[in-house]
């Protein structure tokens, strides 16, 4: 009876372990390593799958060797739904197919190619940081860094520069869908990938081919792949999206967590600042040409990579035959059909591999050579890049170096009382409160870190009574000298009025003017602008608003400012919206569909076209009853030789679109 109870208890433990593997592979690997050691096998008669875990340099070296000789394969290693969702990407293919494609992909990530990408990365990083400084107020480094990294990846991968942040959610939606695709590929995930491909990737590939064909290739990964003609069109699409979704999340997490140790570990912060000052003193304005000599800063970046998760932390293979894993701790037998998981994070945090593994200590990388530690340091996969290691590992380092080096030009203050612990159950965790800062400005002295006010100050600003005073402009209390008193106060007043705004109705809100006389006016101080001081509508305005407006008019002169200008690379529209965007008119209809018949019907009868709809003199034989008749505008050209204005649209009695007549064509 005792043996039976023991067997049942073990069976329960095995089933619990298997469930843990399915729900949280990272925690499963760490718990199992702590319980069973560097190599372990979990099997259960109740769960039709064996799972083995490998941790530590010795085991991981054999993991790569078993892929090389075919003992381990990718086929069947991932749940079928996830394999279907990902498609035949580098991380799911085997043998000669993998070797050929990996060799072609790697050509875009050589050191000479990275040197070509470096100026592009620098330009985007510095422009974005300048935009943050111009924006002022309170910002989240985590949120802003996601935008920055997406721009960098778009430029380096696809050669696209500009505002494409609306498409970032498609990549995030795809990544999120992986978690729910174990048994069947998520339809939402497939839709997200297809939408991104059609909107961004496919046009980027076409533009790349056009550039290469005309001898005008630029410094981006796509142009490299297209120019060397070693990847098919399908492979360009597959790897183009694979490198986007696999890279942008992890890279944004690492770029964000470059700051996390600085705000939580004063000793590390002091060391980084000392290294920064020494580097700037040594190289000055030439510093961007010496990223290889960052010294302690490069050690710091490697330690951030080791300790902070930047994507999936396991690599999987399936055993095609029985084999043994032989380490200094013993020989372990792996049966055929076992799913073998190589633990990357568990190795990076393994006490037998690293001294004090949970301590953040950049000094451990003082004499570090990656080529000699391919199975010890594995934030981007394990082993050689020609095998299963991430091809873009050095690109990630280059981006982190660029972000940190650009930060050297700025200073900011942390909002007190934040939770700096990283998020739980996130593939790319960042601090819970997003590293919220204020006063991000260009650095004028040796300081580059501080805390804005006291915790009591920020508690006061969050009181309801305080929020009625400063509204959504508390960030303005700490920022932007480019805004004069008149602008600051007028933004507050208009914002307060807008918060009380409700939809007006024409029959009650509009009245017919009763006076037709010249209005008494005054000239604003220091301008030539005349404004009326009487108005029929003023009596209905709240007395306090009238007095406030009069005060601004008479005591806070409106003066043109020719001194402060937009910063290099600053988006003027974004800057303005950062100040007044919160009181922009509310959007009640989102026109996601702009090209269907239904879209035209909505615009015609419920939108801007409603004042132009007219009833036809008589119903036409095809049922046309209403029309918007703009064909007469055909004499005007939008682009000479390409397009003209104007067309007639005809609708039936129910407002359904029947036909469009453009010129003589219907």
* Residues contributing to the annotated binding site for heme: 390
Q: How many CB atoms sit inside 10 A of residue 404's CB?
A: 23
Phi then psi for 119, rounded to 5 degrees? -65, -35
| 360 in Cβ contact with 265 (< 8 Å) | yes
**Closest by Cα among 136, 424, 431 to 263:** 431
Please report which helix (H) or strand (E) contains residue 210, including its range: helix 202-213
Burial label, 486 (beta-carbon count in 10 A; 0-12, 13-18, 19+): middle
> Three-class SS string for 635-661?
HCEEECCCEECCCEEEECCCCCEEEEE
Q: Are 164 and 150 a contacting pair, CB within 8 Å?
A: yes
Contact 567, 133 (CB under 8 A): yes
Task: Tell me the CA distances in angstroms from 571 to 67, 135, 469, 566, one per residue in order.
Answer: 49, 10, 29, 8
- Here the tokens at position 482 are 């480019």
**Closest Cα partner for 452 from 463, 442, 461?**
461
Task: Quote the distance between the C-alpha of residue 518 and its chain's center.
Answer: 56
Cα(339)–Cα(21) distance, integer angstroms = 11
Which residues are annotated binding-site positions?
390
CA distances from 59 to 35, 38, 327, 331 (A): 17, 8, 7, 10
Tokens 């970032």 sit on residue: 168
Count of CB atoms situated within 10 Å of the CB of 550:
11
Dihedral sign computed on CA atoms, order 547, 549, 554, 556: positive
Structure tokens at 531: 């404004």
Structural contact between residues 435 and 140, judged by C-beta atoms closer than 8 angstroms: yes
CA separation for the pair 352, 55 (Å, rounded)? 10
HSE of 68, CA atoms in CB hemisphere, 13 A = 12
∠ CA 13-17-18 to the nearest 5 degrees? Answer: 120
Residues 6+ apart with CB under 8 A from 562: none
Q: Which helix (H) or strand (E) holds 614?
A: strand 614-615
Contact predicate 137/439, CB 8 Å: no
């Amino acid at each position: 009876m005792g043996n039976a109870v023991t067997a049942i208890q073990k069976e329960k433990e095995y089933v619990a372990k298997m469930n843990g593997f399915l729900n949280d592979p990272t925690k499963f690997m760490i718990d199992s390593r702590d319980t069973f050691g560097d190599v372990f096998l979990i099997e259960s008669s109740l769960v039709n799958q064996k799972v083995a875990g490998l941790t530590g340099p010795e085991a991981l070296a054999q993991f790569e060797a078993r892929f090389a000789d075919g003992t381990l394969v990718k086929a069947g290693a991932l749940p079928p739904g996830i394999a279907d969702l990902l498609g035949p990407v580098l991380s799911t293919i085997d043998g000669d197919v993998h070797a050929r494609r990996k060799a072609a992909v790697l050509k875009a990530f050589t050191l000479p190619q990275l040197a070509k990408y470096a100026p592009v990365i620098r330009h985007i990083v510095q422009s974005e940081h300048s935009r943050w400084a111009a924006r002022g107020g309170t910002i989240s480094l985590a949120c802003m860094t996601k935008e920055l990294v997406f721009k960098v990846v778009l430029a380096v991968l696809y050669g696209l520069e500009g505002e494409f942040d609306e498409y970032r959610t498609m990549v995030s939606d795809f990544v999120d869908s992986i978690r729910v695709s174990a048994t069947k590929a998520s339809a939402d995930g497939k839709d997200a990938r297809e939408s991104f491909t059609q909107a961004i990737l496919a046009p980027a590939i076409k533009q790349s081919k056009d550039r290469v064909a005309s001898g005008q290739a630029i410094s981006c990964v796509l142009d490299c792949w297209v120019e060397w003609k070693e990847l098919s069109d399908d492979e360009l699409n597959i790897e183009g999206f694979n490198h986007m979704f696999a890279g942008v999340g992890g890279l944004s997490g690492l770029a964000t967590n470059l700051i996390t140790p600085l705000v939580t570990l004063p000793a590390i912060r002091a060391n980084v600042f000392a290294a920064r000052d020494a580097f700037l003193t040594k190289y000055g304005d030439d510093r961007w040409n010496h990223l290889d000599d960052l010294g302690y800063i490069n050690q710091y970046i490697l330690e951030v990579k080791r300790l902070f998760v930047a994507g999936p932390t396991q690599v999987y293979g399936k055993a095609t035959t029985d084999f043994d894993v032989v380490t200094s701790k013993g020989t372990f037998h792996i049966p055929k059909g076992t799913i073998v998981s190589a633990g990357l994070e568990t190795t990076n945090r393994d006490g037998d591999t690293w001294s004090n593994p949970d301590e953040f200590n950049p000094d451990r990388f003082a004499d570090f050579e990656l080529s000699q530690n391919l199975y010890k340091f594995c934030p981007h996969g394990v082993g050689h890049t020609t095998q299963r290691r991430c091809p873009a590992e050095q690109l990630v380092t280059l981006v982190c170096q660029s972000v940190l080096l650009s930060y050297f030009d700025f200073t900011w203050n942390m909002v007190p009382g934040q939770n700096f612990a990283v998020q739980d159950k996130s593939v790319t965790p960042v601090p819970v409160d997003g590293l919220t800062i204020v006063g991000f400005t260009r650095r004028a002295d040796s300081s580059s870190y501080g805390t804005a006010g006291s915790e009591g100050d920020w508690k006061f600003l969050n009181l309801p009574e305080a929020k009625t005073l400063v509204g959504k402009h508390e960030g303005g209390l700490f920022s932007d000298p480019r805004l004069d008193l008149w602008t600051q106060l007028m933004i507050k007043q208009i914002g307060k009025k807008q918060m009380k705004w409700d939809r007006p109705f024409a029959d009650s809100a509009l009245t017919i003017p009763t006076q037709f006389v010249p209005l008494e006016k005054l000239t604003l101080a220091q301008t030539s602008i005349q404004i009326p001081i009487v108005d029929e509508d003023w009596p209905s305005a709240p007395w306090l608003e009238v007095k406030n407006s009069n005060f601004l008019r008479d005591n806070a002169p409106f003066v043109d400012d020719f001194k402060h200008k937009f910063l290099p690379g600053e988006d003027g529209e974004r800057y303005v919206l950062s100040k007044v965007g919160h009181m922009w008119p509310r959007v009640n209809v989102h026109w996601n569909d702009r090209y269907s018949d239904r879209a035209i019907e909505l615009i015609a009868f419920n939108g801007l076209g409603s004042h132009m709809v007219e009833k036809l003199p008589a119903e036409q034989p095809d049922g046309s009853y209403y029309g918007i008749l703009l064909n007469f505008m055909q004499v005007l050209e939008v682009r000479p030789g390409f397009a003209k204005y104007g067309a007639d649209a005809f609708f039936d009695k129910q407002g359904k679109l029947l036909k469009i007549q453009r010129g003589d064509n219907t």
